[in-house]
Amino acid sequence: MQSRCWSENHFHDINQFTLSSTGPPQKHQEGLADHSVGSDLASLGQFPNQRPASDLNEMKYPTTPDDRYFVHKERLWRCTNPNLSDACRKELVSKLMKARRAVRKAKSSNDEAALASARSDVNDAKVALGERGPTWWDDDTDYNRLLVKNTPYAKWWSEQLDS
């Protein structure tokens, strides 16, 4: 049975993002996407590079009043499409993380073909999440990756800095 979810006014086959170049499933790494599991494992020291879930939940970035972007280092970054179901979003984030691990693996092995494939998988997952590609809102304005001060959100941002 294939997994499908709604995004960008059409359905995406979630399985299209599955990477064939990765090895057998690594249950511990995939479990870290679930904060409750990741927190327990990280707190036990089994994954020293992972933050406990409490740290992850506290890492909040300011979000624009219309919830389209979050701000990081003075730049606007597009938020995930809020119209995605929770299950679909989790599945796509899992595919995104798997693709990012494949990028790291391809870089370390100097495999250009695998790197290109993995980067394409990252892009596909981000488009499905609504973080790239066509906007998930009605108008076509997109300020992704622009400095906040150079967008219509500049006044809002200066008010955030003053408070």
- Residue 142's pLDDT is 95
Give the structural domain span for 49.
23-59
Residue 37 located in a structural domain: yes
How far is the C-alpha of 76 from the C-alpha of 81, rounded, in Å?
15
| Residue 30 maps to a domain | yes
In a domain, 9, yes or no: no
Q: What is the pLDDT of residue 5?
A: 62
In a domain, 158, yes or no: no
Tens-digit pLDDT string for the chain (163 aa)? 334 564 443 444 444 433 333 333 333 333 333 333 333 333 334 434 444 444 444 458 999 999 999 999 999 999 999 999 999 999 999 999 999 999 999 999 999 999 999 999 999 999 999 999 999 999 889 999 999 999 999 999 999 998 8
Question: Into how many domains does the chain fold?
Answer: 1
Burial class (CB in 10 A: 0-12, 13-18, 19+), 151: middle
- One-letter amino acid for residue 29 of the chain: Q
